[in-house]
Structure 1
Amino acid sequence: MSKKVGILGGTFNPPHMGHLIIANEVLHGLNLDEVRFMPNATPPHKKKDEHVSEANRLKMVKLAIRDIPKMNVESIELERGGTSYTFDTMELLQEREPTTTFFFIIGGDQVEYLPNWHRIDELVKKVQIVGVPRPNNTFETAYPIIKLNIPQIELSSTIVRNRLQNGKTTKFLLPESVRDFIQREKLYESQ
């Protein structure tokens, strides 16, 4: 019996309610067995933010999903280190779990960027890509993806980090457990 597993990749710097909403909507919308949050090491398209370690990003993800059934952490990219291409990661996951069907979840902003992805033509044959809309993105693509319409929240890790740096409220934007951890570890405080 094949398992259906969603993979939600990201820097999760920090993980916020928007990520949890996406994961939950896809989990139920596609009737998956689980959704795994996969923090990436060095994403090819983002500058590395040195202030928060990989260990702390992983810890925050674990805290964010701690009490949520069917949500887990996939740390394969952190274990490998270096630049992570989705194609290589999904190939490794499929070797490790040959009976699992993977659904790779991306936001509308990434849907438009798909033509630039490493080995995208092979990737779409290998895994089912699931696109969820984000505010202000067209969401159009020639690639065979599942488009799920979900409640959208205009929230990004950048907004959350700015709030934290400026001592402004993050209530309802971050899970309490993550907020407590950030305060305790003094992450994101203005340098």
Structure 2
Amino acid sequence: MKKIGLLGGTFDPPHLGHLLIAEEVYQALQLDQVWFVPSNLPPHKQHSGTKAVDRLEMVEAAIEDNPHFRVEPIELEREGKSYTVDTVQLLQEREPDTFFYFIIGADMVEYLPKWHRIDELAQMVHFVGVKRTDYQLETPYPVEEVEIPGIDVSSTMIRERLAEKQPAKYLVPDKVMNKIKEHSLYGTE
């Protein structure tokens, strides 16, 4: 049975923190691959102002040099909100010989009780929580903790820096920055 990690998010933009999380969990749990799952309409966040196709291209650029990472566009292909339980159900139907690990940050671990159909989802995947500054991994649901080196970076911070014409070097991969500039995203030219 294959062991696949799923890392969901808006990836608006994808940054080195995302890559570090995926790599650390991949190594710690000896996974076969980690799939990045860009969300269409995340139920817990405001809608991204960045087109899905641009976010998808940025994720592809971010991971293209890593053979055990891949993009899974399943949520971008569906209409409506991106509920994890629906995504996992479709993936399990499509990949019956695969065991899925759902990778989440500590902020989402604390939010798990509010997730759509969480009891059902908790039976379908193995949750993996990664530490994040100012959050604890406290939840009534089973979550395996993976320690990762601390890197305090967020997509929001990067968008704000770029909008203010500040550099984001060493926060996003160069290939992602090239896509940001190519599509004039976040106030870049």
Matched, 1:17 2:16: yes
1:79-158 alignment, distance < 5 Å: 79-158=77-156
Aligned-partner SS, 1:90: helix
TM-score in terms of structure 1 length: 0.96
Matched, 1:26 2:32: no
Identity of aligned residues (%): 53
Equivalent residues of 2:5, 2:33 under 8 A apart: yes
Deviation at 1:134, TM superposition (A): 0.7
State how far apart, in whole Å, the 2-side matches of 1:170 and 1:53 are. 20
Corresponding residue to 2:187 among 181, 185, 189: 189
Aligned-partner SS, 1:112: helix
State how far apart, in whole Å, the 1-side matches of 2:55 and 2:17 are. 16
Which runs of structure 1 show a deviation greater than 4 angstroms over 4 or more consecutive aligned residues?
A: none
TM-score in terms of structure 2 length: 0.97
Instruction: Work out the number of aligned pairs and report it.
Output: 188
State how far apart, in whole Å, the 2-side matches of 1:171 and 1:186 are. 16
Corresponding residue to 2:174 among 173, 176, 187: 176
User: RMSD of the TM alignment (CA)?
Assistant: 0.9
Q: Which runs of 5+ in 1 are unaligned?
A: none
Deviation at 1:81, TM superposition (A): 2.5
Corresponding residue to 2:160 among 159, 162, 166: 162
State how far apart, in whole Å, the 2-side matches of 1:132 and 1:138 are. 10
Aligned-partner SS, 2:20: helix
Aligned-partner SS, 2:23: helix
Deviation at 1:46, TM superposition (A): 1.0
Equivalent residues of 2:3, 2:32 under 8 A apart: yes
